């Protein structure tokens, strides 16, 4: 493995950690603001990465994707909340679901603002650490946050898109949908890893390239 490959791998890890932590923090913060303090009472309203780690979604899956050279995405341990504490459970459940991806969009915009603000300093005479920060880390930081945002908008449990899908479903179908959610992890693994090998097309990568990839092109100078 070359030096630049090691640097890119390190930058992916350094970008992924704040992205996933802020994503989960935003879920808990939104639930708290909407009247439910479950996440806060359980210590999940925190920027401590250890509070949010899911062994597979936060560690194994991103590492596999980094090694495979694909888009880096994943998920953390879901933030607990009780919709019964919301004034409008269906609407507020949707808002909590959207809060995480919205947090990633904010971080991507912050990264883009930094790139535009520091663009004049990115020259051949700049310190090497700044060149790596500007030319490697910040683009990766933007991409990782966009990948996380759009990946989590997929309507597959346990991703945030499932909350959006549930909001759009007629109420009479919700009990059946919630029963299906107990099989969330097997379905998720099949869609992510098995389906691409069966149909020889990686639909997730195609979706992320069209969504996150095109938006990154607009944001990165």
In SS3 terms, 45-65 reads as CCCCHHHCCCHHHHHHHHHHH
Q: What is the mean pLDDT of the chain?
A: 88
**What mean pLDDT do residues 94-112 have?**
96
Which has more pLDDT, 77 or 36?
36
Contact 151, 159 (CB under 8 A): yes
**What mean pLDDT do residues 150-160 have?**
86
Confidence (pLDDT) at 50: 85
Confidence (pLDDT) at 115: 97
> Catalytic positions, please?
24
107-123 residue pLDDT tens: 999 999 999 999 999 99
Confidence (pLDDT) at 177: 76
Task: Kindly indicate the confidence band of residue 149, based on its pLDDT and cuts at 50, 70 and 90.
Answer: very high
For the whole model, what pTM was predicted?
0.88
CA dihedral 13, 98, 54, 38 (to 10 degrees): 130
Confidence (pLDDT) at 70: 66
Query: Residue 69: is its pLDDT beyond 80?
Result: no
CA distance 28 to 26: 5
Task: Kindly indicate the confidence band of residue 143, based on its pLDDT and cuts at 50, 70 and 90.
Answer: very high
Confidence (pLDDT) at 56: 81
Number of CB atoms found within 10 A of residue 161's CB: 18
If 0-12 CB within 10 Å is exposed, 13-18 middle and 19+ buried, where does residue 28 land? buried
The token duo for 149 is: 């945002």
3-54 residue pLDDT tens: 888 898 889 889 998 999 999 999 999 999 999 999 989 988 889 888 888 8
Contact 159, 153 (CB under 8 A): yes
Contacts of 97 by beta carbon, 8 Å cutoff, 6+ apart = 27, 160, 161, 162, 163, 164, 167
């Amino acid at each position: 493995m070359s030096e630049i490959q090691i640097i890119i791998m390190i930058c992916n890890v350094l970008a992924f950690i704040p992205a996933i932590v802020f994503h989960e923090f935003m879920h808990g913060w939104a639930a708290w603001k909407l009247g439910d303090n479950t996440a806060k009472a359980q210590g999940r309203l925190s920027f401590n990465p250890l509070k949010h780690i899911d062994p597979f979604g936060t560690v194994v899956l991103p590492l596999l994707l980094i090694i495979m050279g694909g888009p880096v995405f994943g998920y953390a341990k879901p933030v607990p909340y009780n919709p019964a504490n919301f004034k409008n459970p269906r609407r507020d459940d949707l808002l909590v679901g959207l809060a995480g991806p919205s947090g990633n969009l904010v971080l991507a915009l912050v990264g883009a603002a930094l790139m535009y603000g520091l663009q004049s300093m990115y020259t051949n005479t700049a310190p090497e650490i700044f060149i790596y920060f500007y030319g490697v880390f910040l683009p990766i930081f933007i991409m990782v946050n966009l990948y996380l945002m759009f990946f989590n908008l997929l309507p597959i449990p346990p991703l945030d898109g499932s909350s959006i899908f549930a909001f759009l479903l007629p109420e009479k179908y919700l009990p059946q949908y919630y029963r299906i959610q107990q099989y969330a992890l097997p379905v998720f693994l099949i869609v992510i890893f098995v389906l691409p090998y069966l149909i020889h097309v990686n639909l997730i990568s195609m979706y992320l390239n069209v969504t996150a990839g095109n938006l990154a092109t607009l944001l990165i100078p």
